[in-house]
Amino acid sequence: MRLKMSAATDSALLRLMPSAYWRSMRFSHLYRLIIACGLTAYYYFWQAQLWHANFDHKLYLKLALSYLVFSIIAALLSWLKVSLLDRRVTFIAIVDIGFIVTMIYAAGGLESGLGLLLVLAITSASFFSDGRLALFYAAVATIALLLEQSYQFITWTQYNVDYTHAVMLSLSCFATAWLAHSLSRRTIQSEALASQRGIDLENMAQINQLITEEMQDGILVVDKDFKIRHHNAQSDELLGSVQPDAITLAQYAPEVADLLQRWMDHEDQFKISGAPQKLRLNDRELRLRLMPVGSQRQEGAVIFIEDWSQFQLQAQQMKLVALGRLTANIAHEIRNPLSAISHASQLLQEEETKDPAIRRMLEIIGDNVTRLDQIVKDVLELNRRDRTQQELIDLQKFLQDFHMQFCLTEKIPDAGFNLQLPTHVERILFDQGHLNQILWNICRNGWRHSRQLAGSLTLSVTSSSDRLEIVVRDDGPGVADDIIPHLFEPFFTSESTGTGLGLYIARELCDANDARIHYKKAASGSMFAIHLKRQSTQ
C-alpha cells in the first residue's frame, strides 16, 4: 500500500511519532539555552571588544538575561515532559525573533553579526512548522528587521542606515525557511514510512507467532550457540520437556541437541537439508526436519517436529476405511458360492460312506465353511456400525439377562462367571444389540483364555460422577507386551482358528455409541474396560 503525504497531514504524522518529535524539541530548547548563555557570557567576559559605538549596555544585558531565563524555563518544561510550550511552536518562534531583533538593535545593528542567529532561529522553527508557517516566520522576521532598521534611522543621528544588509538577511531568512521546511517534510515522510514499516513488521511477527502457536507440528529455532530463540507449545508437548523455559537446547531436549550436533558436524551423512530424521522419545515416534537458518548449518537451524505415530494412525485409518468398503463388497459376493459349498457338503454328508478319509474331508469342508461364514457375518456387521439404534438401557437388568444367556449358550457353569453389579440403578444410552455383541466377544475370549475354574471370569460395574465402566477380567496368562499395541487391529490374531475381527469390531461398535474400550494390565490375567456415559441415576 502506498502512503500518500500532504502538507495537511504533517500534524497527524507528528502525532504518530511522538518520541521523535519530543526529542527534536528538546534539542531545539538545548540549542536556544546554549545561545542565550553565550550571549550573556559575552557581555561579562569581552566588554572591552564590544561591537559598536551605539552598543546599549543596559538594554543588551536586560535582553540577554531575559532570553536566558526564557530558554531555561522552556528547556526545563521540555525535559520534564510538560507540554506547555512544546506544542506552541509559533509562539516560541515569535519570541525568538523578538529577542534576537531587539538584541541586534541593542548590540549596535547588523554589524554586530547577530543577524546569523535570526537565520538559525527561522530554520529551527521551520522544522516544526506546518506548511506556510515557515514562510510566515520569515515574513515576521523580515518585518521586524525593517522596523528595527527604520527605528535606527530615527534614533541614531550619527549613523547612516543601509537597508542592503537587512534585505539580504531577509532573503536569507525566506530561503532557509523554505529549504528547512522542505527538508523537515521529507524527514517526517521518511519517519512516517519507517514507523509504518515497523508496525507492519510487528504485525507480521505477531501473525507468525500466532501461526506457529496454532500449528500441529512443533517448531524450534536454535542459533549457532544452541540457544533457543523460539519454540511453540506443541514442541513442549511432543518433546515432553521438563524445562519449557530453558535457554539452551541441551537443557530443553538433550536428545534433539545431540541429533542437531551430529547434523552440523557430519554433513556428509545428512546431505539433504530438511530430510526427515526419526527419533523415539517418551513412547512417541517423532520425525524431525532440520533446516539451516543461513548458508551454513553451523549458523543455526529451524527444527520442525512431527508426531509420526499420528501420521501412521491416520494412514492406517484411511487404509481401514478402504479395506472396509472392499471387504463389505467381497463379503456380499462370497455368501452365494459359500452357501452352495455348504449345501453341497451337507448333501455329501447325508450319503452313507464307510471311507473315513472322505468323512474327514467333509468335516474339514464344513468347519471351514462355518469359519468363512462367521468372517462374512463379522464384516457385514462392521459395515453396519453407523446404523445404531440407541435406547435407554437398564444396565443391571441387561447384564443379568446377558449373564444368564451367555452361560447357557457357551455352557459355562454359574460359578465360573461372576457378576458384580452396583446396588443403585444405572441407565445408559446404547444400542442394545451392539452392547450384547461387544460383551459377548470379550467374555468369550476371556473364558477361552482363562483357567476355566470357579471365578475365572468376572464382569463388574464401577461408577464415578459422570462415567460408568464395565470391566471384564479373567485369570488367564494375560497378553504379551509385544501383542498389546496390536490388540484392536483388524485381522490380527494369535490363534490359528481366530478371525482377528472380534476386538476390532468391539472397538468400532463402542466408538459408534460414544463409548471407549481399552485393555488394562493386571497383576494376573487380562482386563478389558468399557467406558460409558451415564444418562440418569435414581
The topology (CATH level 3) of 216-308 is Beta-Lactamase (3.30.450)
Q: What is the mean pLDDT of the chain?
A: 77
50-59, 82-91, 107-116: range with highest mean pLDDT: 107-116
DSSP state of 56: -
Under CATH, which number does the domain 312-383 receive?
Answer: 1.10.287.130
CA–CA separation, 140 vs 98, rounded Å?
A: 9
Distance of CA 336 to the CA centre of its chain: 57
pLDDT, one tens digit per residue, over 456-480 is 899 999 887 667 889 999 988 888 8
For residue 81, pLDDT beyond 70: no
Least confident of 49-53, 244-248, 291-295, 500-504: 49-53
Tell me which residue has cell 507468525. Answer: 208
Query: Could you tell me what percent of the chain has a pLDDT over 70?
Result: 80
Half-sphere CA count of 241, side-chain side, radius 13 A: 24
pLDDT, one tens digit per residue, over 32-60 is 888 888 888 877 776 555 555 667 778 88
Least confident of 166-170, 375-379, 506-510: 375-379
- The amino acid at residue 25 is M
- Cell digits for 148? 528595527
pLDDT, one tens digit per residue, over 130-150 is 556 778 888 888 888 888 888
CA–CA separation, 34 vs 42, rounded Å?
A: 12
pLDDT, one tens digit per residue, over 266-323 is 766 665 555 677 777 776 778 888 888 877 888 888 888 888 777 767 776 777 677 6
- Domain locations along the chain: 7-199, 216-308, 312-383, 390-537
Tell the CATH superfamily of the 390-537 domain: Histidine kinase-like ATPase, C-terminal domain (3.30.565.10)
pLDDT at 12: 42
Vertex 118 angle, CA 115 and 122, to 5°: 150
Query: Could you tell me what percent of the chain has a pLDDT over 90?
Result: 3
DSSP state of 479: -
DSSP β-ladder status, 218-223 and 300-307:
antiparallel
- Cell digits for 64? 540577554
pLDDT at 282: 72
Tell me which residue has cell 534585505. Answer: 167
Give me the helices (H) in 351-427, please. 356-383, 395-409
This prediction's pTM: 0.41
pLDDT at 118: 84
Tell me which residue has cell 463389505. Answer: 328
Closest CA to 406 of 374, 377, 446, 378: 446
